[in-house]
Structure 1
Amino acid sequence: MPYSPNKREVDAVKLRPPPKLSIVVPCFNEEESLPLLLEGITKLNDILVKAEQISEPLTLVLVDDGSSDNTWSLISNIKSSFNIQGVKLSRNSGHQSALLAGLMQAQGDIMISMDADLQDDPIAAVQMVERFRQGDEIVFGVRASRTTDSFFKRTSAHCYYRLLSVFGVELIPNHADYRLMSAKARDALAMFGESNVYLRGLIHRLGFKSSIVTYNRAARVAGESKYNMRRMVGLAIDGVTSFSVRPLRLITLFGFCVASISFFAIVYAWVGWMAGAVVPGWTSLILPIYFLGGAHLVALGVIGEYIGKIYTETKARPQFIIDTKIHTNAKLDDHAE
């Protein structure tokens, strides 16, 4: 009787070989978080190496996004059982640009991006690597719940995803920037030459085979969040204006509605004038002027946001400029470029 392998054996045959892994972490004033981050990454590396899920010790890519504290000094002097790649940007370019810089500099078969504050559980990356070996090109880390967030943060996050959905932006709810990308997906991402970078939307649009891994997001281990209300609002605006023209169409629709109402108002006023029933008063005149004036300013603001993006894109300035790169092999000495 011929041998018939069971399902587990068939799945094992289909697995990709253990990949070479890079962990990409953008850092901005993270001197308090870095030692704890290294502990978490060390545990992850030990698990993956022992389970033979990766072909060699991982590489940790730390991107200093113009920090004003001792973040770069710490990065430059890290000694660990895995490889360290330090990238220092010439100035603060923003979280998304710093993350993109790290992805473009990373080497290996797969890259996992995460934040330095350890709110993203590093051990969840084990399951991400497994999903890659099973055939996925992108694996999104999604929060299982928001119990650690304040009421305001939970409410604003819900409104954020709801707003983007209304404007036609395709996103995965409760997914930030904790994800795995294959080298194939990263190279496809590099083809986008946009200056206004919104990775959550761009990566979702790549179209490769993907899956979701859920995890429990912890409280920040040290330091303070760099995403204040201004940055959150800016990120939401970037998400909408980078992937949707629906706000412009809504302005057009609103214009047609106002024009229709104005037409009937004109007919009503003309009929009243013909009948001699004109009621004098400034309220009926001033209120529409105020309303339309405010609506015009809002419309001009939305249009200006899009024009500003066009202006930025046409200049084609680089998203980031690299000042220094440092490579530290687990068995060799440092050298800088």
Structure 2
Amino acid sequence: MQKLTIVIPAYNEEEVLTSSVQKLLDIEDQIAERNSLNQKADILIVDDGSSDHTWSIIERLNLETSRIRGLRFSRNFGHQAALIAGLREAVKTADMVVTIDADLQDDPNKIAEMVDKYADGADIVYGVRNNRDTDSWFKRTTAQGYYKVLKLLGVELVPNHADFRLMSKRALETFLTYPERNIFIRGLIPKLGYNTTEVYYKRTPRMAGESKYPLKKMLTFAWDGITSLTIAPVRLILIIGALACLFAVGMSAYSIMMKLLGLTVHGWSSLMLSVWFIGGLLMISLGVIGEYIGKLTIEVKGRPLYTIQNVLE
């Protein structure tokens, strides 16, 4: 008998959690009724240090049905850490695991199609948005630009895919062998090499509550994605430095020629512009290198990715 577990990271989701869980339970029942896998199913909710009544709701749901399990962090460790914790717990008993956010903006009805594709032999099924009409022009444009930049940097990423996916047990077990702490899940999973496929859906607005990814968090997440998956920015600095050196050699030759011809002009503006430009370039370069050194320091320390305070079986 195959087992399906749905993992839900939740942070301050008291307004939507009860209705979302009920909808997912109904979907699991519908899948079980029509599916040839003869599977059982449950839901694992990871409370990422919520400050509202999210954990109280999880406790109540756990008392109402044994199909609801819960993990509670001691504080807010972040969305990716919550996903990792849920996956580590779910893989112990599940044959396939679906991850989806608590707001259900990703279409949960597509889970049935994911299970079908798993039955057909897919180890990883990506949920991919087929349009971004619900996004603002700014968010839509920056998202598409981000995917293009990552592609140029050599990062293998599924465009318009977030963290709505199904993974088989063996794919999960392989993924969880990756030890790094600074992890960008959606960029790492394509590296596993298992049989993959996609299902397409239209994202809907939140039923209630506020987005947990304001602009500042989105920018931080995007930068983490780049620095966690590629050293291309450091290589770019090397290229820029080499070009700057070549430019300096050319300018030296030009200055000597102008001096011999007696055409030199003492210009304060050009000198200051050069100093500020080179100084700014050096500061940016040091900042990028510092980001990588900082990540290495965190990895070397080997601190835990999260701390679990409570477990509901």
- Alignment RMSD: 1.3
2:26 paired residue number: 43
Instruction: Please give the secondary structure, in 2, of the residue aligned with 1:58.
Output: strand
1:284 positional shift: 2.2
How far apart are 1:29 and its partner, in Å?
0.1
**Map of 1:91 onto structure 2:** 75
Q: Which residue of 2 aligns with 1:4?
A: none
1:129 aligns with 2:115: yes
Alpha-carbon distance in structure 2 between the residues aligned to 1:304 and 1:211? 37
Indicate yes or no: 2:245 matched with 1:254: no
Are residues 1:316 and 2:299 paired?
no
Q: Structure 1 residue 217 and structure 2 residue 200: aligned? A: no
Distance 2:65 2:56 in 1: 19
Partner of 1:200: 186
In 1, Cα distance between the equivalents of 2:95 and 2:71? Answer: 19
For structure 2, list consecutive stretches of 5 or more residues without a partner in the other structure: none
Question: Does the alignment pair 1:55 with 2:38?
Answer: yes
- Does residue 271 of the first structure (1) align with residue 257 of the second (2)? yes
Residues 19 and 53 in structure 1, CA contact (< 8 A), matched pair in contact too: no
2:57 aligned partner: 74
SS in 2 for 1:140: strand
Percent identity over the alignment? 43
Answer 1 or 2: which has greater helix percent: 2
Runs of 4 or more, structure 1, over 6 Å off, are none
Per-residue displacement from partner, 1:160-216 (whole Å, max 9, x unpaired)?
212211221110000000000111111101111101011101111111111001111
Q: Deviations over 1:118-159 (max 9, x none)?
A: 101111000000011111111000011111111122112112
Could you say what secondary structure the match of 2:82 adopts? helix
Question: Highest Rg: 1 or 2?
Answer: 1
TM-score (norm 1): 0.89
Q: Aligned partner of 1:308: which letter? A: G
Task: Determine the structure 1 residue equivalent to 2:98.
Answer: 112
Q: Give the drift of 1:108.
A: 1.1
Change (3 A) 1:141 1:80: farther
Deviation at 1:81, TM superposition (A): 5.8
Partner Cα distance (1:56, 1:71) in 2: 28
Once the two structures are superposed, the pairs formed by residues 103-252 of structure 1 within 5 Å of their partners are 103-106=87-90, 107-252=93-238
Q: Contact conserved, 1:120 with 1:217, CA < 8 A, in 2?
A: yes
Q: CA deviation at 1:55?
A: 3.2
Aligned counterparts of 1:304 and 1:315: Cα–Cα separation in 2? 16
Native 8 Å contact 1:57 1:82 kept in 2: no
Structure 2 partner of 1:19? 2
TM-score for the superposition, normalised by structure 2: 0.96
Letter in 2 for 1:51: R
Match of 1:29 among 12, 20, 29: 12
Distance 1:53 1:21, change over 3 A: farther
Q: Secondary structure of 2:251's partner?
A: helix
Alignment partners' CA distance in 1, 2:305 and 2:33: 38
Deviations 1:55-104 (A, max 9, x none): 34411000000000000000001155660110001111100000110010
Q: SS at 1:118's partner residue?
A: coil
| Cα distance in 2 for residues equivalent to 1:80 and 1:109 | 24
> SS of the residue aligned with 2:166?
strand
How many pairs does the alignment contain? 310
8 Å contact from structure 2 (residues 156, 187) kept in 1: yes
Give, in angstroms, the shift of residue 275 of structure 1: 2.3
Letter in 2 for 1:98: A
